[in-house]
Amino acid sequence: MCNNAHGTHNRGWGRPTRGEAVKFIVTKWKSIGGKAILLEEGDITLVEADAIVNAANSRLSGGAGVDGAIHRAAGSSVMTELDGIRSRMGKCAPGEAVVTKAGRLKAQYIFHTVGPVYRGGEEGEPDELASCYRECLQLAAERDLKTIAFPAISTGVYGYPMDQAAAIAVREIRGFLDQPSSVEEVRVVLFGEESLRTFKQALGE
């Protein structure tokens, strides 16, 4: 096991450390302070973390992909809470995030963030996607949370190329973990081996 600063290691753990979602923990990266990024393949709704990030839409109205799966798994209390948020603040812009409790998920909170729709990459999408990660990590730190799980925001219905999205995600998470905060572990939960491979490359494996 490689625990050197900014090192990575592969370890074929046959079972997850927590929860049942994760088939395999493939890569663990540790910052100088011992904080970790875990890349995992599985269903994020089954992951245990203090906060789980949802890839939502601006209307916060639920949808397909991760959004649909999270609402189904968490139950209707989450949409009821979002209804209240929506009536107070209207739409949630790309790059921003709102917080609800997590219903039946094994988490305290869901951070609903709105990724950019990919339109070629020159209309501010990289900044918006980076902001999604930063905002959610900041929300976790403000709540003194230790663990947070992200899906690959914008890489499904919103069409962001996985390699570009992975590079942004890894850069933002690493940058955040290099600063002092309560957050000790960031899990990126990916659907499919191809996504996992791409994130692994972004992590420098």
Could you list the residues that contact ligand AR6 (CB under 6 A)?
43-45, 55-57, 63-67, 69, 115, 151-158, 189, 191, 195
Residue 43 or 172: the one with the smaller Cβ distance to ligand AR6 is 43
Distance of closest approach, residue 198 Cβ to ligand AR6, in angstroms: 10
Question: Which of the residues 67, 83, 127, 163 is marked catalytic?
Answer: 67
Residue 141 or 157: the one with the smaller Cβ distance to ligand AR6 is 157
Distance of closest approach, residue 58 Cβ to ligand AR6, in angstroms: 8
Q: Which of 160, 91, 100 minimizes the C-alpha distance to 127?
A: 160
Residue 31 or 105: the one with the smaller Cβ distance to ligand AR6 is 105
DSSP H helices in the chain:
65-74, 76-89, 125-142, 162-177, 193-202
Distance of closest approach, residue 169 Cβ to ligand AR6, in angstroms: 11
Q: Residue 87 burial (CB < 10 Å; 0-12/13-18/19+)?
A: exposed
Neighbour tally for 2: CB within 10 Å? 11
67 is catalytic: yes
Q: How far apart are CA 193 and CA 205, in angstroms?
A: 15
**Contact between residue 11 and residue 38 where contact means Cβ atoms under 8 Å apart:** no
DSSP line for 179-194: S-SS--EEEEEESSHH
Distance of closest approach, residue 115 Cβ to ligand AR6, in angstroms: 4
Residue 110 or 181: the one with the smaller Cβ distance to ligand AR6 is 110
| DSSP one-letter code for 121 | S
User: Would you name the residues annotated as active-site residues?
Assistant: 67
